[in-house]
Chains A and B, each alone.
Chain A
Amino acid sequence: MLNYILSSLVFLPLLGAVVILLIPSSQRHFYKSITLLFCAVELALCGWLYAHFSTANAAYQFLEKIDWITIPLGSLGTVSIDYLLGVDGISLPLVFLTGVVMLVGAVSSWHINKREKAYFALYLLLTSSVMGCFVALDFFLFFLFFEFMLLPMYFLIGLWGGPRREYASLKFFLYTLAGSVLILVVMIALYLSAVDPFESEATQTLVHTFDLRYLADGHNYLPDSILSPTGEIEIWGISSRMLAFWLLFIGFAIKLPIVPLHTWLPDAHVEAPTPVSVVLAGVLLKIGGYGLLRIAYPLFPDAANEYAFSLGVLGVLSIVYGGFNALAQNDLKKMVAYSSVSHMGFVLLGVASLTAEGVNGAVYQMVSHGILSALLFLVVGVLYDRTHNRLIDSYRGLVSPMPQLTVVVSVAFFASLGLPGFSGFVGELFTLMGGFQSDRLPHWLVAIGTLGIVLAAGYFLWTLQRLFFGPFWAKNANDAALLTDLTLREKMMLLPLVMLTLLLGLFPNLVFNLTNQAVTLWMKIFL
């Protein structure tokens, strides 16, 4: 099985979903434990992967390749789609993050008590498709997983969500679908333009490929094709490659999300049940950033180079705009959602800088934000579970009834606002540093980006004070009795995340050792 470690990672949760579907509903109390078990094994596999990964090797490792679809089309060449999996230093941290977040999400799903069969089957299905996105090296395969993710997500929000769940889930679906269409258009153009050099050589026909390794090499593009790096094809007066890059960018930026394509996110979070919010913020957003790193940038380095400034501006815009919006929120979950927008802006800034510091920092920031946003949404859930009210102005002085929660929230907030010792600091430090070192971005732009750090201090501390400090008071008198401190199960899902953000903050090389070589190789195409 360990020869097929990546396939196991992808299909193990799927197997879990099948198991759950087969167990009759009369035995529904097993669903949670089964989900938990599969997620735990999944994380253990991630651990094995981490232990056996060679950090000195920048190339893809644990490669699995099966010729999947091959259709000769005569004069049009051959369609070749591979089942191709592999990880490198950029994807491995995200794979690991997925393992952690999905397990924590499974623990926090404990209180789901309607239609459990569907819920847990969908949850495991989601795990499979997210894993698939991070390990697929064939664009077609990636796209399949990417699209497939929508299905469980749509239902998880739409069926188990809050009062406006249908609106929110449809909005999420349409937004992402719109992005997918753009990606699909580029995929088709890429298919027409690039070939597999070895297969073509061997068969003396044009074997079109979706292998991302070949797509990332300009030599594999047909000279007169639509996306040829040497050709000068224009569509509506814009170079076809530039256009293709922006289409991909928009597709992934919706996921990330980048202002102004972010408006689905606060709605989706507000309506989603806690575990789904955790997964959404913890890993799904990262697919946007990963898509930029794995697909948009390597395939169109010329465009990424040319538009570095605009991309940097978008990153900084997200940082500042998200920060201001977080400041204005009264719904705790919305505040956290906007803080996500702000923090993911750092990712784009780091990537746009095209420096070793910035890109390493961007990957690190994704991991860090994955842990922290999971933590933040979990603590929101703790409050919501008790009173079904997340409005900040409904409470004061929660430190009295809930001292332990106060400690965890304080840690989560300070870690998120970039206090050294926690992971948030390192991510922000390096994405900003990369932006500053980059000769593609002006210093003033990054200086504006640093405002995000002050804003973060503003909205987190303001929220902390309003919710937890002062004399105890609850707007709804009945709530006072419900506000009990953390249960054992809650501590079990919160503590590991606190430990993780601390661990990564104290020893950032745990991530950087993985990413460094891969990013160095990645950077070569931009020199």
Chain B
Amino acid sequence: MNLLLLIPLLPLVGFLINGIGFKHIPKSLVGVIGSVGPVVAFILSIYAFGAFRAGNNAPVIIQLFDWITVGTLNISFSFQIDQLSLLMLLVVTGVGSLIHIYSIGYMSHDAGFGKFFAFLNLFLFFMLLLVMGSNYVIMFIGWEGVGLCSYLLIGFWNKVTNYNNAARKAFIMNRIGDLGFLLGIFLIIQTFGTVEYLPVFEKAVGMSVGDSAIAAITLLLFVGAMGKSAQIPLYTWLPDAMAGPTPVSALIHAATMVTAGIYMVVRSNVLYALAPDTLEIVAIIGLATALMAASIGLFQNDIKKVLAYSTVSQLGYMFMALGVAAYSSAMFHVITHAFFKALLFLGAGSVIHAMSDEQDIRNMGGLRKKLPITFLTFLIATIAISGIPPFAGFFSKDEILAHVYEHNKLMWALGVLGSIMTSFYMFRLLFLTFFGDFRGTHEQAHHLHESPISMTLPLMVLAVLSVVGGFMNVPHVLGGHSALATFMDPLFANAQRANPALFEHGHLDHSTEYLLMGVSVGAALLAMGAAYVLFISKKNVPAADGQESGLQKVIYNKYYVDEFYEAIFVNPMRKLSDALYSFGEFIVDGLVKGAGGLVKLSSGQLRQLQTGETGFYVFAMVVGITALLLWNFGAIIFK
């Protein structure tokens, strides 16, 4: 048996063991069972990566069985191992393992410990299915599966109504996106007659740029990506999803699941290369999301909410990269973002853990002394996400911005504006949480403690990755070899054949590149300085709820988008369903009952004729016969 099959299978086994037997398995064993699968899967992924690099770089298809055969359509259950799936495998199993280990400590006091690990394992299984599948249907299965796990884990504490609402919102909003994905798959079948990646892309190469079917397919797939990767207009579920336990936010709602949309577009890069209009839309939506989410992040006071909007914003950057056909840059950012955003969330979890479940940064402050490891790693992640060299985020974000600059200078300027906001809200978060004086209750202060090793170890590992992660793809201008981009190059060979013009851009000269880097780093440092002045020198603390005014109030309330959706979509749907039920059923059933009533009425009338008197019957008979005779022979008689 192929060892690669074990990669998704191990977490599935973990799910089954913990899911069925969690009542009978001792707690100490649950965490181990839950973590062993991901760790071994990670080791196997490294092995697969090595084996693949030693080979000839061609995609490997592992055929398991024919899943569905209907008419001429055959959907096989098979995996595809290539550069893209390997990178995703490493990120998913690597970060996934760390977060599993972290959860052993974080969830240790929770009654649903076993259930938690079961769900987390199940998520990993579906996520691996999503990235390993060799066709769009398998991707869709994984896609829906991770949606299920997201639902289960957001609503993990199912006694709290708000959490359940958040879980339901996430699932339904994702479903709306999934409709696009589903229709996209249907159109792919109609256009190409298959759903397997390789034949689809092979056939697509021969099609012309701007083909309307391809444009429709890419747009529909992108609708799916909007849902899963929280882009405008389907982004509002992600901040609410923070209701789930913090490791879930780190794994599912930051590092892996939400990047599935980017994976999908990169996977379909040939199709997108053939649809420049779609790419433009992707870039604009990405930019708009990046800016809008970053601006909301400026004023949030819930430590996880800030990070959630930051995630939405960073995902926007990735889509912006995709929109300018900088596919490998987008993947690069997916990877570095997985490192530092997982670290930020886990750090936030460590803080929340220490603060006895407090999440409001207005009640924190000065935590750096009590939580030194958490502080240090959080600081590293903050520097990394703000794009300050030489940490990971600098390389990936800078690469995206450089590609955007080549595409459109205004977009680039707005992108830099977004990174200024990023730097500001991140340092605001850092300063308010870890610097200044403690603002919480005495009780909280009394309980403050650094987290156990099972939690701090993943923090340290991720911190190292956030520092050095950028070196996997150092650009030529800084003396590197763009190793990651080179590795991924074969993925885009078909796209380059299909639409060479898209990839022909005048290479920026080195002085421009230095200038761009200087501007974005300078801007980030400036924003950091501003945050320092505001929150450390001036010791500002954000206003209490309801004290905001003007534009700040609008932004603090997330531009009232949730309220808008509620008024425009949710309530009308409810009203429509009530109206259809009470009104529609009333009419339909009324007609039926009316018909019944009519029969009853007429039979009631007719019954009166049945008097039972012979005289009446004879009379009626005579009248009848006369009438019949008249009917038949009337014409003759009255001639």
Contact = CB atoms under 8 A, between A and B. Distances in A.
A321 B581 CA distance: 9
Given A174-B596, A260-B588, A263-B589, A329 B70 contact: no
A273 interface: no
B172 A461 contact: yes
Interface residues of B, number: 49
A135 B592 CA distance: 32
A454 B175 contact: yes
Contact of A465 (B66, B164, B182, B588): B164
A461 B581 CA distance: 19
Interface in A420-453: 420-421, 425-426, 429-430, 432-433, 436-437, 446-447, 450-451, 453
Contacts of B584: 321, 325
B574 interface: yes
A214 interface: no
A333 to B, nearest CB: 15
B94 to A, nearest CB: 26
B71 A508 contact: no
B183 A436 contact: yes
Contacts of B185: 433
Contacts of A513: 69
Given A356-B71, A458-B172, A399 B141 contact: no
Contacts of B144: 419-420, 425
B70 A512 contact: yes
A470 B577 contact: no
A324 B575 CA distance: 10
Contact of A325 (B175, B176, B585): B585
Interface stretch (B153-161, B350-358, B464-472): B153-161
A420 B580 contact: no
A445 to B, nearest CB: 12
Contacts of B165: 465
A421 B145 contact: yes
Contact of B171 (A263, A356, A397, A457): A457
A61 B152 CA distance: 46
A516 interface: yes
A516 B71 contact: yes
A290 B577 CA distance: 30
B576 interface: yes
Contacts of A450: 179, 182-183
A392 to B, nearest CB: 14
Interface string A385-409: 0000000000001010000000000
A397 B158 CA distance: 8
Nearest to A321: B580
Contacts of A432: 182, 186
B179 A361 contact: no
A465 B73 CA distance: 38
B614 interface: no
Given A432-B182, A461-B168, A361 B70 contact: yes
Contacts of B168: 461-462, 465
A454 to B, nearest CB: 5
Interface string B67-81: 111111100000000
A509 B73 CA distance: 12
B208 interface: no
Interface residues of A, number: 54
Contact of B581 (A325, A361, A399, A512): A325
A143 interface: no
B158 A469 contact: yes
Contact of B148 (A321, A399, A419): A419
Contacts, number: 129
Interface string A313-334: 0000000010011011100000
B189 interface: yes
B573 interface: yes
B179 A436 contact: no
Given A328-B577, A470-B158, A461 B171 contact: yes
Contacts of A271: none
Contact of A508 (B68, B186, B582): B68
Interface string A359-373: 011000000000000
Contact of B190 (A174, A420, A437, A465): A437
A324 B581 contact: yes
B140 interface: yes
A469 B164 contact: yes
**Most chain A CB inside 10 Å of its own CB: which residue of B159, B182, B576:** B182
A414 interface: yes
A422 to B, nearest CB: 10
A470 B164 contact: yes
Contact of A426 (B68, B158, B161, B175): B68
A457 B71 contact: no
B194 to A, nearest CB: 13
A325 B580 contact: yes
B578 interface: yes
Interface in B183-238: 183, 185-187, 189-190
A471 interface: yes
A324 B588 contact: no
A70 interface: no
Given A454-B179, A470-B159, A436 B190 contact: yes
**Most chain B CB inside 10 Å of its own CB: which residue of A324, A420, A421:** A420
A25 interface: no
A357 interface: yes
Given A470-B164, A508-B67, A512-B69, A263 B577 contact: no
**Most chain A CB inside 10 Å of its own CB: which residue of B73, B175, B588:** B175
Given A263-B588, A451-B179, A457-B172, A420 B73 contact: no
A520 interface: yes
B71 A360 contact: yes
Nearest to A420: B141
Contact of B175 (A397, A420, A453, A470): A453
**Most chain A CB inside 10 Å of its own CB: which residue of B66, B582, B589:** B589
Contacts of A260: 588
Interface string B375-413: 000000000000000000000000000000000000000
B543 to A, nearest CB: 32
Contacts of A430: 68, 70
Contacts of B161: 469-470
B508 to A, nearest CB: 43
Nearest to A178: B595
B565 to A, nearest CB: 14
A509 B67 contact: yes
A436 B190 CA distance: 8
Interface of A: 171, 174-175, 259-260, 263, 321, 324-325, 327-329, 355-357, 360-361, 397, 399, 414, 419-421, 425-426, 429-430, 432-433, 436-437, 446-447, 450-451, 453-454, 457-458, 461-462, 465, 468-471, 507-509, 512-513, 516, 519-520
Given A263-B585, A509-B69, 5 more contacts: A171-B592, A175-B592, A419-B144, A453-B182, A509-B68
**Nearest 7 pairs of A and B residues by beta carbon:** A356-B71, A328-B581, A327-B577, A420-B141, A436-B186, A328-B577, A469-B158
19 contacts: A175-B592, A321-B584, A328-B581, A328-B582, A355-B71, A361-B70, A414-B148, A420-B141, A426-B68, A453-B175, A458-B573, A461-B168, A461-B172, A465-B164, A470-B159, A470-B160, A507-B67, A508-B67, A513-B69
